[in-house]
Every structure is written in C-alpha cells, then in structure tokens.
Structure 1
Amino acid sequence: MPVSFVTFDSRWGAAVCAQTQQSKNPTQWLTNWAPEPRDVYWQNLAIPFFSLSIRKFLISIAVFALVFFYMIPIAFVQSLANLEGIERVAPFLRPVIEVKVVKSFLQGFLPGLALKLFLYILPTVLMIMSKVEGYVSLSSLERRTASKYYYFMLVNVFLGSIIAGTAFEQLDSFFHDPRTIGVAVPMKATFFMTYIMVDGWAGIANEILRVKPLVIYHLKNMFIVKTERDRERAMDPRSIALGENLPSLQLYFLLGLVYAVVTPILLPFIIVFFAFAYLVYRHQIINVYNQEYESAAAFWPQVHSRIIASLLISHVTLFGLLSTMKAAYSTPLLIFLPLLTLWFHKYCKSRFEPAFRKYPLEEAMEKDVMEHASEPSLNLKTYLANAYLHPIFHMFEQEDQKEEATIEVRIDKSEQQQQQQHVRSSHSQYEEETSAQTHYHHEERSSSQYQYQYQHQYQYQHEETHMRSEQSPPHFVYHHGVEH
C-alpha cells in the first residue's frame, strides 16, 4: 500500500511534520494532514499516486459532459419510456397499453418519471465519480460531490429555467448579452416561487417526516432482517447527506440574492424556507443523524466561494436589468460592485483560508502544554495504537467480544442448572430421611461425596474457561502483526 499513517505524541510535532518538506527529492514522498480515523475511506488508500491525476482529469471530463449534455441520456431514457418503446421491448403488454385510461396515464406519467428517477440517482452517480477520483476521506468525497451537484443545479436549474435552449446557448447568452438575463430573470420569478414551495417547503416537510427511510426500513424488515443486528442496521439513520443537501441550500441562497433587487416579492418565500430549514435541520442533526466524522469546518471555504459566486451572478443580473430601463447611463457605475466583491474574496482567501489548510504552531503548543498540565498521566500511545486500524480488524475484535459474551452466558446457565440440581438433591434427601433412617446415613455419605466431586469438577471447569478467555490474544496483537 503506498500510504501510511504516522502518529505523534504531540500536536506540535504533527503540525511541523505535516506542513514541511521532509525530503530534498520532491517525488520521493508527500506528507499531508491525515483525516481522523472515522473519516478515512480505506478503499482508496491503495490507489497509486501517479494515477490520481489521470483519474481526476477523466472524471472532470465526465462531469462536464454530464452537466452540459445531461439532456442526451434523459432523452434516450424518455424515448424508451414512451409507449412505442414499451411495446417494442415487451410485446405481451400491448393489450394492456391499448386501454384508453392506461394509455393516457402512461403518456403523461412515464416521461416525467424518467426525469425524476435520473435526478434521484444523480447524487449517487456523482458520489461514485468522486470515489473514482481517489480521495481518501469521507469528508473530501462529500465536498467533491457537493461541488459537482452545485454546478449541475446552477447550469440546469437556474440558467436552464431562465434561458431556453442548450447549456452552451445559455452560457453564451449569459456572458455576451447580459440584458437577456436581466429581462428573463424577473419573468421567471413566479416559476421560482412555485419551485421554492414545491421543492423547498415540501422537501423540509419530507425531511422531518423521513418518509423514504421509513419505507426502506419496513421493506428491509420484511425481506432482509433476520437478527437483531440486522434490525439495528436497518434502523441506522446514518449521517446527513451534505453532498446532496448543501447544494440545494446554496441554490436557494442564490435565488434570494438574485431576486432581492430584481423581484423582492420572492424574498418572503426564501425567508420562510430558511427559517423552517434551520429548525428542521437543527433538530435532525442533534437528535436523528449520527456524526460519522469531524472535518474541522473543511466545508466552509467552498461555501464561501459559492456565496461570492452568487453575489457576482446577482451583479450581472442587475446590470442586465438596469441596461434595459431608463437607468442605462448609470449602469457603468455598477462596475465597482463585482470588483469590490472579487477583492473581498481574494482578501478572505489569502488571510483566512490558510487557517483551514494548516494548523497554527502556537495553538498546537498551547494545547500540548495545557493537556500535560491537566492530565499528566494521559497515555496517548494506548489510543493511537489502534486508532488507524483497518475495519477488518475491528470485526475480529467484535467477534472476540461475542465469544466472551457467549461463554459467560453458558457459564451462568451452568450455574443455574447446578443450583437447581442441588435443590432437587436436597429435597430427595429429606424425603429419604423421613422414610428410611438407616438407609439415609449410607446414602448421605455417597450423595455428599458426589456433590463434592461435582462441585469441585464444575469449579475447575469454570476457572479454566475464564482462564482461557483471559489468555486470549488482546487487540493490539493483531495491530502488531499488521505492522510487521
């Protein structure tokens, strides 16, 4: 495997190593900050370094084609979804399709269903593309998926709804004739109001109700669940899908900035959406979803860039709107708006973005000193020994814990059976004592001797079982074997 994890006993040492060049030969090795243990995507660690650039280049071409030519696969699927295509693929359904009610329903339902299914699986397709690129952390995969999904929604939902035609025609109109955008944006305000209510408000209601996970859980419970562990897996809510939810929130923020000046009547719809979104997502993140990893606010630089892009788009839209009105002579004065916005973005990028990429040595030293003063007996090696351990070895540990639990349960059952047998033996001895006093003395000695032998044998087996379980190899032995 071309990747290895190096752990340090101090934050200062890790910060120095991660942010410096370790070899005079720059092609020998690279040192970067490692994601936290829960954030590691182990499947991509074995990808050779030289193939990463090739993978990213090919995926970039695929994403470009998906964003700008997505209507081609949609048209192909919809052509198969029409009635002629169904009759050609499945001739035995022709008598059913020829029914007037069924035919009219399918003609209006199938094309929209094909489009909806494509948009439904789109985040999954983009996540697979991000995995093929070779990123080694779950947070990086979600960030890349969110970027791809945002570009898709910007071109095909925002620009595609404003300007009719292909994606290239939309961009050509956007850059060469901003007045077209200025005229078209106010005309689409009603459409986006409806879009916010149907997709935004209904999406928030669907998020709090969690209808889709509920249906999936019951389907798994009927066909897949066989044990209690399967039931727990089926009920697992997992973490919030940032790669899908974050681009949608950024799109609504873009709509709010664009229409704040052009058509302010849309702002109440945006405010209501974000108010409900804040309450619902706050509740879901705290009480429903699991936190799979910590990424130290690594998403924020991308969110900041999307906000700046939304401001620039709103400036261009305002240019186009004013140029079509009597205020055309004052339009050149607005050229300072995008210039100031770009300057602010450059300032934030140069001053604050390094704080998200590098770890300050001053803070690392302060935390090390504070930790040694408050917890002088803290042993980090105990934690770090098994921190970056492949999940397959954690499965072995869980199996060992199950075996120990099974042994303890069996021992408890043996103790209960032994106690019940002892009670029955005492009861039988009492009956024999009342019936035959002479025979009782002889039987009492043999019974007592038998009980003593049985108890002694059981005690030996009980101690031997615990002794074997205590001598089983501990977890760090597997880690030691992997390292060697």
Structure 2
Amino acid sequence: MAKNCTTTDPTDPSNGQQDILVQAALSLALGVSAFVVFCILRPRWRSLYAARKRKQDAADALPELPDSFFGWMPVLYKVTEEQVLASAGLDAYVFLSFFKMSIELFGIMFILACAVMAPINKTYVWLPTPGNPKNPHPQANLSSRQLDGTLSLGFGPEIVTMDQGKQKEDIRYLWAYLIFTYFFTGLAMYFMTRQTKRIIQVRQDYLGSQSTITDRTIQLSGIPLELRSEDKIKEFLEKLEIGKVENVTVCRDWKRLDEMMDKRLYLLRNLEEAWAVHQGRRSLKQLRVTLQPNPHANGEESEQEDAHEQDNLLNNHVVAYENPRPTTRIWYGLFNLQNKKVDAIDYFEEKLRKLDDKIIEARKKEYNATPLAFVTMDSIPACQMAVQALLDPEPMQLLAKLAPAPSDIVWQNTYLPRSSRMIRSWTITIFILVLTIFWLIPVAALAGLLDLCTIRQVWKGLATFLESHSTIKALIQTGLPTLVVSLLNVAVPFLYDYLANMQGMISQGDVELSVISKNFFFTFFNVFVVFTVFGTASRFWPVLQDTLRDTTKLAYQLASSVQSLGVFYTNFILLQSIGLLPFRLLEFGSVSLYPILLMGSRTPRDYAELVQPPLFKYGFYLPSAILIWILCIVYSILPIGYMILFFGLFYFVIGYFTYKYQLLYAMDHPQHATGKAWPMICYRLLIGLGVFQLVMAGLIALKAAFTAAALVVPLIPFTIWYSYYFGRTYEPLTAFIALRSIRRENDPNVNIADENIGIDRPPGYHRRRSTTLDEEREKGLKFVNPSLIVP
C-alpha cells in the first residue's frame, strides 16, 4: 500500500456526494440538450423521426403526434398495448413489457427501501461512534479472524478490534437484511411470473387467431438421403397422419446461383450510377426539398407528397443528353496488366445482359438437395403437432421445429453443411472467450481509476493533483469510467452482431437472439463481475487464485467489493438514464451519418434507401437494461440502495417511453421472433437474483452474523429450482401455440374444439378483428429462395 493513501468508508453516503453531483450535472447537460434538439427536429425531419409512420401500413392505426414541443408526449403515453401489438408486433410488446414490469417492481422496492431500509441503515450503519466517527462497523476482508475473545476485522491498512458482545448487539439489524433478501427475491419472482402469464395469454391469443404461411410451416432438418425430395417428404409426413402437406421446399445447393444474383446487384448499381451521372445529379437544395416534406401534411396530403417525392426522385435527374457519357476503366490481358477506358453505360449494360442469360439458364438446372426442408401444412394444428412430436427414432434425424418467416430466412446458410455451421459456431464461441480475456485489460484499467491509491501507485503527481481538485477528481474517477463503459456497451454490440451473422444461422431472428446472449455475457461478465470482483489488474491474479482454492471466498470478495463500487454504479445508471437515453431518442448515429450518406447518394435507389426506417435491434438495447435491473436488485438493501433504485426506476421510465416511440413511429423491426426473447430475459434476471443472494450472504457473513448468512443460502438452490420450474411450466408456451388456443377462421372467439376460449386477457387488451402485423408482412410470400423467382 502506498504511503499517504487513505481509505474511505463505502457505506457512508457522504463520500460519493461530490461524484454523484458532478455526474448528475454532466448527465443533465447531455440528456437535456439531446432531448431539446430532438423536440426541435422531430416535426421538421419526419423522414427520420416518423419514418415508420410514413412508410409502414401497420402504423396507420397509430395516432398522429402533434408538432408542438411537448404535445407528442401525452399522445404517446395513451397508446395502448393493443395498438402496440397491432402496429409493432409481439416482439415490441414483450420488450416494452419488461420495462413496464421493472417500473412496477422497482417502484415498490424504492418505497420500501426509503421507508424501512434507509432508516435501519442510517441508524446502524452510518451512526458515528467514538474512535471511528465515520463507521462503527468496518467491513471485514478475507483475513477476518478471532483472537483471544476479540474479533479482528481488517479493511485496507487498518485493523479495528471490537468486543464480541458489542458486535453481537450491533449486528441485529442484519436480520432485516435477511428478511428483505427473502422478500425482494419473492417480489421479483412474483412480478416475473405474473408478467410471464400475461405475455403467454397475449401471445396465445395473438398467434392463435392469425393464419400466416409461417404459422403452418415447419423447418425439417436432418433429412436422410433417401427422403431428400419433395414427393418423398410429403408422402412420409402424410403417412404419420399428422395432417395434409400443402407444399414442400427442399433446400438445395444454390451457392452458384446466389453468387450470380449478388454479382447482378453489383452490376445493376454500377449501371444505375453511370446512368444517373450521365443525366446529371440534383443539387443538395433540390434534394432537401424532396426528402423533407411539409411537416403539417397528413393523410391524403402525405400520400400526395410521397408520390411527388417519387416523381422528383426520378425527374430531377433529367438534363440535356448532350452531357458526356461516363467511362469506366477495365483491365484485361495477361494477369490483367493492360487497361483501357470504355463507355460505362454500354459496358455495364452488356455485362448485365450476359449475366441475365446465365441466371435464366441457371434457374433451370437441378441442384443437389441438402438435409433441410420447409414443409407447409394445410392447417396450424397439423404444424403444431408436428413440431411438438418426435418424428424419428434415430437421434439428430428428421427434427421438426417452427419455421422462420420467409423474409427472415438467410438462404445462403440453408445449404451450409451442418458440420460447417458447427465449426463456425464453435470457432466464434472460442473467439468470444478470447475477446472476453482481452476486455479484461481495458476494464481493469478503468477499475483502477476508481481507486486513488491505485492512481498514486502508477502516477503520484496525478493523485496529488486530484486530491486538491475535487470536481476534476470526480470527473476522472467516476465520470470518465462510466462514460467509457457506456461507450463500450454501445460499440461492442456491433462486433458481436457481426460475429453472430457469421455463425451460419438459418434466420435473422435466431441471429438476434444470439446477439442478445452474447452482449449480455459481455455486459454482465466484464462490466459487473470483473469490475466488481477483481477490480484493478494488480488484484486480478491474487483474487483468482484465492477463488480457485476456496470458492466461498468469491462471495466474500463480491460482497466486499459491491459496497465500495456503489457510487460508481449509481453514476453509471445515472448516465445511462438521464444522459444517454435521450441520445437514443435523437438517433444520434443516424443524424450524424445522414449528411455523409446524402453526399454519396446518386441514384433513385440510393435516395429510397436513405429514407427507409432505421432497424431496431433488441440485441443492442436489451442487455444493458438487464444489467441495470441486476444492479438495482443487488444494491436494493444496501445503504446506497434507495439511490440506485431511484435512478434505476428513472431509467426504466425514460427507457419505456424512448423505446415505445422508436418502435412505433421511428424504427422498424423486420424479424419474426414472436416474443421468444422473454425466456432469455427471465433466465438472466434469475442469474441476477442469484448474484443478489450471494452478495447478501457474503455481506452478512463478513459482519460475523453467520446464522443469518446461513439462512440466506437456501435461496440460491430455490432460485435454481425455480429456473427449472420456469423452463418446464412456462417456456413451452412461449415457443409453441397450444392447440386449444387456435381459433376457427370464421369465428375468432371459438377455438378448433368448438369451445369458448377462457383466456383472461390483460386489462385494456381486446383482440383486434383486422389482420395482424405478421399477416400483412407475409401476404403473398412463399418459402422459395428469391434467387429463383425474383424478376
């Protein structure tokens, strides 16, 4: 330990007040400025902030938002769950349900923390005593020991000795910790179970009353060689008497055809660009007029504007044909060492014509069948019975699962051999483990900034300077680490999204669920576990060795570190909620990239893509929200808990309205996951509950209340049992449609057994009679590789 290095009491709230005030000022400056800019730009830039409302038919039923500065907020608040389902689908409903559940849960916990736990903590933990005015009960470290009738508790460089009788008298408040550990665990499980039942009811009602080609189609994998044809698969399934087969699409090795279609798109874009250059580009002023419609237009006026935009998009390019024709350089000869310039339009047009002839011929060829097929049944019950049954006694053969939507399929991966997909999956998994070790370096460095003693060991002058400048010290020790960690949470998902797409999954829905899993692993392990348990790089190896020798020390170390990082995580949640969520509403990335993309746009296709709604990816936003949920639970009982619960509640309130606006009005989500993210959310919340119980057991044990600590331990196996119970009881209903939930097409209130449905729908929810969002999306679609049929 460096000389002149003083430790601070982590349970004393006054130690972090300066840091929290500085972080609050920084977050307010960021958040308020972003929110004000959004409110100014929203009515003026509808092509971005109302892109989904303008382009998606499913959003027509949503109310128009007023153009006033704050007038849009009450209208957004009044949008019902039924309207969310109708316009954004089940995935959006499930995502927002998590935020609503968290608001209710943490609202109750915050009230209890303020009314009960805060007075208890103030009386027993913060109360000054002679000899130690800051803290009467220093936290025990891993070297706690009993000697000669006294209890020696080591914390940092100090050793404090107390009489055991006095210690036993003072730790009676820890029984309140035990009681509230049980109560908050039960409360969290109650809300989780209640919300799961609501989601199941809505999901079964929603999916049971619609009829899409996806709802009637199974994905059949592991098909043996003797069955790899449409007729044989149809004959096999109909012999099982599950139902009639309407259509079979055997996936074949279309690699060569797909490559030609990709090349065709490349040539087509080059030809369009050459033609646009020849006709002349519009000025930026004309472009702004086209892409920024009248903010007061709606209804028929908006449709007329859209038509006018399309006319402008085409006609504004027309100039005199006397312009010189563009050229392109081509390379030829031995090793392509010779080159010459040719007419670009003629060159790409001829290349496109020749390639089209090859594609027409390629579509007529027969390709080798793969072990994968999409089978469309004549009814939804037949499909559900097929996917919920074992079709073949051989392992890994004729496995049936629900098919993804046709537009969701990654056709290039359908003809990848299973072995290739497995190799890709394991390779990327190993790579992510290596990345996890790599992330330890920057995370440990950031953790070092939280400790002035560590800074003094590395840079004594900086530590001395920070001691004399409290505001700069708060910015360096708290503001900088929280900002960098938050930026990592924004940047790392892009990398994991790329890696998930490289794994060879069949559908984009599976990719997105994989991104959620990968990003949560990063945020939970690197931002919470490593940051909390190991701290600085200098402590990493000793702590790891101690943990491997005695796993119980992990609980002690976790409990000891959690308290010291309370201010950091308070500031982290503060920055996420007040500072960064308004930037998500502003869509800062799209706004900053728009001028660059605008300057690079030349063709009508470029302009059309420029005004498409941005994609909303749950894997980018959900893991951070789950981490904050876990932090709120872990700190809920501790002295700083009321503060973390307050800012956590604030995060989920702001997040609910931010993401509600984006999902309904600004951003699109084309995947067809039908709410399957909910079990993933619940399992990760249960991990958080397990950490909460482990921390409380370690914390109570550190204060020598071993009986109370031992009584916390049964909660851990109970939580594990509940996860298995959840998997057996509720998870199947989040993956399949119960046969009794399926409605007759001529009467949506009667199921296939001619019985009235007894589903208790959530308050305010009524099944809409028009077509669902999925039915609109899949109208006219078939399970056919687009390379075979696209014009």
Give the TM-score range, shorter chain. 0.5 to 0.7
Higher helix share: 1
Q: 1:283 aligns with which of 643, 656, 661?
A: 661
Give 2:732's aligned amino acid. P
Cα RMSD for the two superposed structures: 3.4
1:442 is aligned to none
2:373 is aligned to 4
Residue 39 of structure 1 contacts residue 139 of structure 1 at CA under 8 Å; is this kept in 2?
A: yes
Residue 41 of structure 1 contacts residue 138 of structure 1 at CA under 8 Å; is this kept in 2?
A: yes
1:261 is aligned to 637
Q: 2:410 aligns with which of 41, 53, 60?
A: 41
Cα deviation, 1:229-285, whole Å, max 9, x if unaligned, reads 312312323331211111010111011001101231221111111111111111111
CA distance in 1, matches of 2:541, 2:612: 43
Q: Shift of residue 44 of structure 1?
A: 1.5
Give 1:387's aligned amino acid. K
Cα deviation, 1:126-158, whole Å, max 9, x if unaligned, reads 122222322111111111111111111112111
Residues 1:28 and 1:271: Cα distance change in structure 2 (over 3 Å): closer
Q: Shift of residue 117 of structure 1?
A: 8.0
Q: 1:229 aligns with which of 605, 611, 616?
A: 605
Higher relative contact order (CA 8 A, sep 6+): 2
CA distance in 2, matches of 1:313, 1:144: 23
CA distance in 2, matches of 1:23, 1:182: 51
> Does 2:384 correspond to 1:51?
no
Q: 1:345 aligns with which of 710, 713, 723?
A: 723
Give 1:20's aligned amino acid. A
Residue 424 of structure 2 contacts residue 504 of structure 2 at CA under 8 Å; is this kept in 1?
A: yes
**Segment drifting more, 147-156 vs 21-30:** 21-30
Residue 697 of structure 2 contacts residue 712 of structure 2 at CA under 8 Å; is this kept in 1?
A: yes
2:390 is aligned to 21
Q: Shift of residue 115 of structure 1?
A: 9.0
CA distance in 2, matches of 1:260, 1:326: 21
Q: Shift of residue 363 of structure 1?
A: 2.7
CA distance in 2, matches of 1:129, 1:181: 31
**Segment drifting more, 333-342 vs 354-363:** 354-363
Residue 556 of structure 2 contacts residue 699 of structure 2 at CA under 8 Å; is this kept in 1?
A: yes
Q: Shift of residue 4 of structure 1?
A: 2.2
> Does 2:437 correspond to 1:68?
yes
> Does 2:595 correspond to 1:218?
yes
1:96 is aligned to none
Residues 1:22 and 1:160: Cα distance change in structure 2 (over 3 Å): closer
Residues 1:169 and 1:37: Cα distance change in structure 2 (over 3 Å): farther
Give 2:729's aligned amino acid. R
Q: Shift of residue 186 of structure 1?
A: 1.2
Give 1:390's aligned amino acid. N
CA distance in 1, matches of 2:484, 2:566: 27
Residue 18 of structure 1 contacts residue 33 of structure 1 at CA under 8 Å; is this kept in 2?
A: yes
**Segment drifting more, 272-281 vs 36-45:** 36-45
Q: Shift of residue 286 of structure 1?
A: 0.8
CA distance in 2, matches of 1:347, 1:199: 34
2:357 is aligned to none
Residue 146 of structure 1 contacts residue 243 of structure 1 at CA under 8 Å; is this kept in 2?
A: yes
> Does 2:699 correspond to 1:321?
yes
Residues 1:233 and 1:54: Cα distance change in structure 2 (over 3 Å): same
Q: What's the secondary structure of 1:5's corresponding residue?
A: strand
CA distance in 2, matches of 1:385, 1:25: 36
Cα deviation, 1:343-397, whole Å, max 9, x if unaligned, reads 2222111111112233323334x4467479999xxxx9xx78742233446752x
Q: 2:532 aligns with which of 138, 144, 162?
A: 162
CA distance in 1, matches of 2:394, 2:417: 18
Residues 1:68 and 1:275: Cα distance change in structure 2 (over 3 Å): same
Higher strand share: 2
Q: What's the secondary structure of 1:4's corresponding residue?
A: strand
CA distance in 1, matches of 2:439, 2:391: 45
Q: Shift of residue 171 of structure 1?
A: 6.1
Residue 10 of structure 1 contacts residue 368 of structure 1 at CA under 8 Å; is this kept in 2?
A: no
Residues 1:267 and 1:172: Cα distance change in structure 2 (over 3 Å): farther
1:123 is aligned to 493
Residues 1:117 and 1:254: Cα distance change in structure 2 (over 3 Å): closer
Q: 1:134 aligns with which of 504, 509, 514?
A: 504
Give 1:340's aligned amino acid. F
CA distance in 2, matches of 1:168, 1:12: 57
Residue 182 of structure 1 contacts residue 321 of structure 1 at CA under 8 Å; is this kept in 2?
A: yes
Q: What's the secondary structure of 1:316's corresponding residue?
A: helix
User: Gaps spanning 5+ residues in structure 2: where?
Assistant: 1-251, 253-369, 445-480, 755-768
The percent of aligned pairs where both chains have the same amino acid is 23
Residues 1:159 and 1:71: Cα distance change in structure 2 (over 3 Å): closer
Q: What's the secondary structure of 1:7's corresponding residue?
A: strand
Residue 182 of structure 1 contacts residue 317 of structure 1 at CA under 8 Å; is this kept in 2?
A: yes
2:243 is aligned to none
Residue 68 of structure 1 contacts residue 168 of structure 1 at CA under 8 Å; is this kept in 2?
A: no
Residue 217 of structure 1 contacts residue 235 of structure 1 at CA under 8 Å; is this kept in 2?
A: no
Residues 1:390 and 1:203: Cα distance change in structure 2 (over 3 Å): farther
1:440 is aligned to none
1:336 is aligned to 714
CA distance in 1, matches of 2:488, 2:429: 20
Residues 1:183 and 1:72: Cα distance change in structure 2 (over 3 Å): closer
User: TM-score normalized by structure 1?
Assistant: 0.66
Give 1:388's aligned amino acid. F
Q: 2:582 aligns with which of 182, 205, 208?
A: 205
